[in-house]
Amino acid sequence: MSLFDKGCGCNNVAGAKDHDMCDGCVCDQLRNLRAGEEVDLIIDGVEFAGLTFTCFDKKTCCATFLDATYPFIVDCRKVDAIRILS
């Protein structure tokens, strides 16, 4: 069973306009990604390449990705840059 199967506990609603806490261009991009899209992130000057997006929780601003087979969870407000690969 994968995070895709469980839904990973996120409240992602494509196109949702609930911007109360999750401000910024990276949060906006993550809010609109679809599960399965591949991205690179830069956080505090460190690049995290080839992450697979699973979901975005607009209530906590947490985005969940898979790095190989392990979950990678990050607050969208901490991401400096995003490159959408797919």
Per-residue pLDDT tens for 21-30?
899 999 999 9
What whole-number distance in Å separates Cα of residue 70 and Cα of residue 57? Answer: 18
| pLDDT exceeds 70 at position 71 | yes
CA 84 from centroid of its chain's CA atoms: 11
Residue extents of the structural domains in the chain: 19-84
What whole-number distance in Å separates Cα of residue 68 and Cα of residue 77? Answer: 23
> 19-84: what fold?
SH3 type barrels. (2.30.30)
| pLDDT exceeds 90 at position 14 | no
Say what the pTM is: 0.77
pLDDT > 90 fraction of the chain, expressed in percent and rounded: 72
Per-residue pLDDT tens for 44-55?
999 999 999 999
What whole-number distance in Å separates Cα of residue 41 and Cα of residue 67? Answer: 12
The confidence score (pLDDT) of residue 3 equals 47
- 45's CB contacts (< 8 A; 6+ apart) are 80
